[in-house]
């Protein structure tokens, strides 16, 4: 293992050395950055133009090559400026399920100098209206389903709507009709790197989501960091990408996660656009359809939340020739259980499998690893990327030694500028250039980051810290359990106790006593659940596949016999 680590470290240093493609330099404030990264997001998204004739996108029965995609984006850019009067710095909200117009609207907003604001397409009326109000949107590009939720309130907020799949109406323009109208081209905007480039909303489930504002510099550095990780994985795990190179297939990504999330937007869409990959885009997640697309379109890469990957691996078509082209697999949006990792490596031992750690507030950048590193250390989150500092401790200036767990802090040029119109919460999250993540983790002797839990998910029973994630992974290690959620419940004697809700596989037979016995063999007595509920219906999750703990807790508390 020591020799392997040295080999990886040498490859890393070659990539970031002076004069190298991913040269890293340090600013006066001590923060490192990539010297050769694009100066701003407008520059970053132009790279795909060199692939003009190459296939870019398949969605349902629609196909676009790179040239056709940029033609549509340029035309919408001109209409945003000339027809809708969008000026630099104005916010253009995007609210629709995954579809080609989402991608076109995003690039057009960037090129016009506007700040794109992807909204949660799963959100209901109040969430959408709150978001539009928070960012003071000038334009809303949306589908008919989202328009029907907010149409009557747009006039009071002075929002001009552009709908992609419905008729024009009062205060509402038709996207298709607008793009058919002639318009004079405009010069693409050239922003200052420190101007706001993007607003993404946190995936809050129990309170009003916060609007995360990032600069052009931050997003561009984040995209370049993703490209560094791809190059590093290729250098250190060449045997895993060699079959793709020899196949002659165009690298093709199955995009099944929402575009309004940082992983769908940065790691998939924008990363694919800059590298000339093809995307096969799903309107929404469906495992049967996903595997049909993999087989038919010869998809080479799929990344998703652990629950999505779990459904893929459990499907009988996955372990067949139909997924032979699938050589790249990624996990994100949550911690994967040891059982899922074992299944993944077992079913696809030669794949370039990867995972990482990042937040909306860091533009998805933190730690990452793939290929041989992933196989060597499954369950970690990888190494800190070369422009990222990670500290473990109550504050970043008094770091804990390797192997000790504590709050995770990040410092990088990819961090947000702050939460829009939330000064106090920004000051709590950003402290002298460091981001307080709200997660608990440790860094081992070899520099690998391991996530223990969210601080808010820690259960404190009689002064002892219990990781909800540990309880969940232990429950999921039973073959009858498909997913589980653990959380704190009030307890008069101990302050808090453990509550657990476990979902069983459809054909599984498991009683409460059997699951308790399974847990008792693997966990200390103080970590065992006081209240336990077994069910067969899937647990509530948000758009990125993360468990909605508050709703799940209510499920347990509403069942008198749960004990």
Architecture in CATH for domain 2-40+216-454:
3-Layer(aba) Sandwich (3.40)
Residue found under tokens 């100066």: 39
What CA–CA distances, in Å, run from 278 to 58, 105, 272, 413? 8, 18, 7, 29
Residues whose CB is less than 8 angstroms from the CB of residue 214 and which lie 6 or more positions away in sequence, other chains included: 196, 197, 198, 199, 200, 363, 414, 416, 417
What is the spatial distance between Cα 114 and Cα 48, in angstroms, rounded to a whole number?
A: 20
Domain ranges of the chain: 2-40+216-454, 47-54+66-187, 467-557
Question: Any residues with CB less than 8 A from the CB of 169 and at least 6 apart, and which?
Answer: 151
CB atoms within 10 A of CB 506: 7
User: HSE of 172 in the Cβ direction (CA atoms, 13 Å)?
Assistant: 20
Residue 515 token pair: 């699951």
Which of the following CATH numbers is that of domain 467-557: 3.40.50.1370, 3.30.470.30, 3.40.50.970, 3.30.300.30? 3.30.300.30
Q: How far apart are CA 189 and CA 197, in angstroms?
A: 12
Residue 260 CA: distances (Å) to CA of 2, 103, 360, 515, 516:
41, 11, 11, 38, 39
Per the listing, tokens 């060199």 go with: 50
| Per-residue model confidence (pLDDT) at position 67 | 98
CA angle 355, 215, 429 (to 5 degrees): 70
**Is the Cα torsion angle 170, 171, 176, 181 positive or negative in sign?**
positive
d(CA 93, CA 174) in angstroms, rounded, equals 16
* pLDDT for the residue numbered 206: 42
Rounded Cα distance, 537 and 534, in Å? 9
Q: Which residues contact 422 (CB under 8 A, 6 or more apart)?
A: 210, 211
**Rounded Cα–Cα distance for residues 453 and 559 (Å):** 27
The span from the CA of 90 to the CA of 118, in Å, is: 14
Token representation of residue 428:
């709590």
Distance CA(13)–CA(231), nearest Å, equals 12
- Spatial CB neighbours of 137, under 8 Å, sequence gap ≥ 6: 91, 92, 93, 117, 157, 159
Residue matched to tokens 């101990």:
494
**How far is the C-alpha of 206 from the C-alpha of 549, rounded, in Å?**
9
The DSSP line for 247-307 is HTPPPEEEE-S-TTSHIIIIIIIIHHHHHT-EEEE-SS--HHHHHHHHHHHT--EEEE-HH
Q: Which helix (H) or strand (E) holds 212?
A: strand 211-215
pTM of the shown model: 0.89
pLDDT digit string, tens, across residues 205-258: 445 789 999 999 999 999 999 999 999 999 999 999 998 889 899 999 999 999
What pLDDT is stored for residue 272 in this prediction? 97
Whether residue 351 contacts residue 326, with contact meaning beta carbons closer than 8 Å, is answered with yes
Nearest partner of 212 among 201, 222, 196, judged by Cα: 201
- Residues near 542 by beta carbon (within 8 Å), at least 6 away in sequence: 122, 203, 205, 548
Q: H/E element holding 471?
A: helix 468-476
Same fold, 2-40+216-454 and 467-557: no
Low-confidence ranges of the chain (pLDDT < 70): 203-207, 544, 560-563
For residue 424, count CB atoms less than 10 angstroms from its CB and return exposed for 0-12, middle for 13-18, buried for 19 or more.
exposed
Quick one: how far is CA 190 from the chain centroid?
28
- 190 - beta bridge partners? none
The pLDDT of residue 467: 87
Copy the structure tokens of residue 71. Answer: 């033609």
Tabulate helix, strand, coil % of the chain (nearest 5).
Answer: 35, 25, 40
User: Nearest to residue 126, comparing CAs of 109, 150, 160?
Assistant: 150
The class (CATH top level) of 47-54+66-187 is alpha beta
Whole-number Å distance between alpha carbons of 484 and 503? 6
Q: And the tokens for 254?
A: 């199955």
C-alpha distances in angstroms, 193 versus 115, 189, 262, 504, 511? 13, 12, 20, 50, 58
> Which candidate, 335, 337, 313, places its Cα nearest to that of 326?
313
């Amino acid at each position: 293992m020591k020799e392997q680590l040295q080999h990886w470290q040498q490859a890393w240093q070659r990539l970031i050395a002076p004069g190298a493609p991913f040269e890293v330099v340090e600013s006066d404030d001590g923060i490192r950055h990539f010297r050769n990264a694009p100066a701003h997001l407008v520059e970053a998204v132009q790279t795909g133009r060199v692939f003009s004739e190459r296939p870019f996108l398949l969605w349902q029965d629609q196909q676009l090559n790179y040239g056709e995609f940029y033609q549509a984006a340029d035309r919408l850019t001109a209409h945003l400026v000339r027809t809708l009067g969008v000026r630099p710095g104005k916010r253009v909200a995007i609210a629709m399920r995954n579809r080609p117009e989402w991608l076109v609207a995003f690039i057009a907003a960037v090129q016009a100098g506007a700040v794109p604001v992807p909204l949660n397409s799963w959100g209901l009326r109040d969430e959408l209206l709150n978001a539009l109000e928070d960012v003071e949107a000038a334009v809303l590009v949306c589908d008919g389903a989202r328009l029907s939720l907010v149409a009557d309130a747009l006039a009071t907020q002075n929002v001009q709507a552009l709908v992609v799949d419905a008729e024009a109406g009062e205060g509402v323009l038709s996207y298709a009709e607008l793009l058919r109208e002639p318009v004079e081209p405009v010069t693409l905007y050239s922003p200052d790197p420190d101007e706001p480039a993007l607003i993404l909303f946190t995936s809050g489930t129990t309170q009003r989501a916060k609007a995360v504002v990032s600069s052009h510099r931050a997003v561009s550095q984040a995209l370049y960091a993703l490209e560094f990780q791809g190059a590093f994985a290729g250098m250190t795990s060449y045997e895993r990408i060699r079959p793709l190179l020899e196949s002659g297939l165009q690298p093709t990504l199955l995009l099944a996660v929402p575009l309004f999330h940082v992983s769908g937007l940065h790691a998939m869409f924008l990363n694919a656009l800059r590298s000339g990959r093809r995307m096969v885009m799903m309107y929404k997640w469906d495992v049967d359809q996903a595997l049909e697309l993999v087989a038919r379109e010869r998809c080479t890469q799929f990344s998703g939340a652990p629950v999505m990957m779990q459904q893929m691996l459990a499907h009988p078509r996955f372990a067949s020739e139909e997924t032979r082209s699938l050589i790249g697999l990624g996990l994100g949006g949550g911690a994967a259980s040891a059982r899922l990792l074992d299944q993944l490596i077992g079913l696809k031992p030669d794949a370039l499998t990867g995972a990482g750690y990042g937040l909306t507030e860091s533009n998805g950048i933190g730690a990452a690893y793939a290929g041989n590193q992933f196989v060597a250390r499954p369950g970690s989150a990888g190494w800190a990327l070369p422009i990222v500092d990670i500290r473990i401790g109550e504050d970043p200036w008094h770091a804990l030694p390797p192997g000790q767990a504590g709050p995770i802090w990040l410092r990088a040029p990819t961090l947000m500028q702050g939460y829009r119109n939330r000064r106090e919460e920004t000051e709590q999250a950003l402290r002298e250039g460091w981001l307080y993540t709200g997660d608990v983790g440790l860094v081992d002797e070899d520099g690998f980051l391991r996530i223990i839990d969210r601080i808010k998910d820690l259960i404190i029973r009689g002064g002892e810290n219990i990781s909800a994630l540990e309880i969940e992974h232990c429950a999921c290690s039973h073959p009858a359990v498909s997913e589980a959620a653990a959380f704190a419940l009030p307890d008069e004697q101990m302050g808090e106790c453990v509550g657990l809700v476990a979902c069983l596989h459809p054909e599984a037979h498991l009683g409460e006593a059997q699951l308790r016995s399974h847990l008792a063999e693997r966990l200390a007595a103080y970590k065992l659940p006081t209240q336990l509920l077994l069910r067969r219906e899937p647990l509530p999750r948000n758009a990125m596949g993360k468990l909605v703990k508050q709703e799940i807790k209510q499920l347990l508390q509403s069942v008198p016999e749960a004990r």
